[in-house]
Each structure stands twice: as C-alpha cells, then as structure tokens.
Structure 1
Amino acid sequence: MKEPQKKIIIFDDDEDILSICSYILEEQGWEVHSFTNCNNIIDKVSPILPDVILMDNWIPDAGGIVATQTLKKTEALKHIPVIYFSANSDIQMLANNAGAETYLAKPFDLEELERVIKNVLITN
C-alpha cells in the first residue's frame, strides 16, 4: 500500500523562493501548495490540511505573525507545525511570538530546509 503524499503549504510573497522551494520539495515527493499572501488564511489552509506550513514573516497583508497566531487559535488547524522563515536577525523571537514550532533563517541552503522539515515532522 502506497503511503499518502505529504502536503506542504508555503506562504511567501517572493516568487523566486516559492519556485525554488516548490521545485525541491516536489522532487522529494511533496505535494506543494503556495500562496503569495495570507489573506483568509483559514480558507486557504482548511481544504488542504497540510503536514507542514512554511510561513514568511513579511507576507501581505496581515503578516506572518498574525497569520500563524490565527492558525494556532483554530482548533482544526492548530496541530499543523509551522516553520517560520525570515531574513530578520530576531527570527527566533518572531517565531516564538507567532507560536511557530520552529524557524529557518533566510538565506538558507536546501539541506537546511530539508533538515528543518524532517525535524518538525518527527517531533509533531
């Protein structure tokens, strides 16, 4: 029996990051969904129910912190691990404020991306 495909949502307004991450993750067998804003985030995430969410800090309109907090307050979605990613030097504090499980500093290399996703899947 084939294992169901793992799903990930990437929220980032940088099209280059979306296309690179999507390509890498699809190569590894992920079903990738991406959005360039976090408006109506519950409506975006609910039908997909991903295994992991990658959340950019500076995403229109509300921003990553509010978007992550909204997810974490939603009963049906709060179990989904969020990896917060940003080029901010205080990313650890931002991720904590948002309620994200972990974070990834930009720029990151692809091994680091894979490692952080694997770790969050193991621990959640």
Structure 2
Amino acid sequence: MKYNRNEYFRYTFEEPCDATFRLIKQNDGSNGVELSNKGVCKIIDISPNGLKMFSELFISIDQLHHVELHFTLDTNPISMVGEFVWSHRKADGHEYGIKLVGDSESEKMIIGELKNRRRKEMELR
C-alpha cells in the first residue's frame, strides 16, 4: 500500500469527546439563518476536514443540511460549521458523518490541538 503524505489522518478518541451542536435552518426569506436549541453529542473521530459524531437525537439530514459544532480537543474551544454527509441508526441513537467547512487556519488549529492532546495522553501512560 502506498503512503500518501498529503492525505489527512483521522484521529479516533479512546473516550469520545463531549460536544454541543445547533442545527442551522436556511430560511428562504430575507431572515437568513435560524439556529436550533443546543443539543449534546459525542465526537467519535475527527480529521481536519470532517468528523463522526454520535447523538441520541434523530436529525433529518435531508431537511437540515448544516450544523454548528462547539468542542474542545485540548485547551482551546473550537466552533465550526459542518455539513451532514451521512447518518446511521444505532441501538441507542444515531451516528452522523459531518464534513467541516473551514479554512487552512481551522485545519491547523485542529491538528495542533490533537497533537497536544495526544502528547498529554502519552505522558499519562
């Protein structure tokens, strides 16, 4: 198998990371966007361009395409907007695949936070 250094990695958490989310509803009028109340979720794995989250709540991703996520990987709180790509039903909830909409700075922040988190995990062992 050929290793491609340009491919992004995906970090799977030993213990899923706590997060909150708000669904973004695009209005067809002049009101712009409307946000739902906060919901809680767990981030199962993450890469600089996407993540897999688990929630007990059912989200109709056919009607609600975008989500605003708030989480902390190490020390800095991160807020990002994502787009639902897929969903799978589980016994106690639902898993969702989310493509993160960000720039190179947000990608660097995620990578840096993951490196710091992993360093701390290795020191505790």
Q: TM-score when scaled to structure 2?
A: 0.26
Larger radius of gyration: 2
Q: Whose strand proportion is higher, 1 or 2?
A: 2
**More helix per residue:** 1
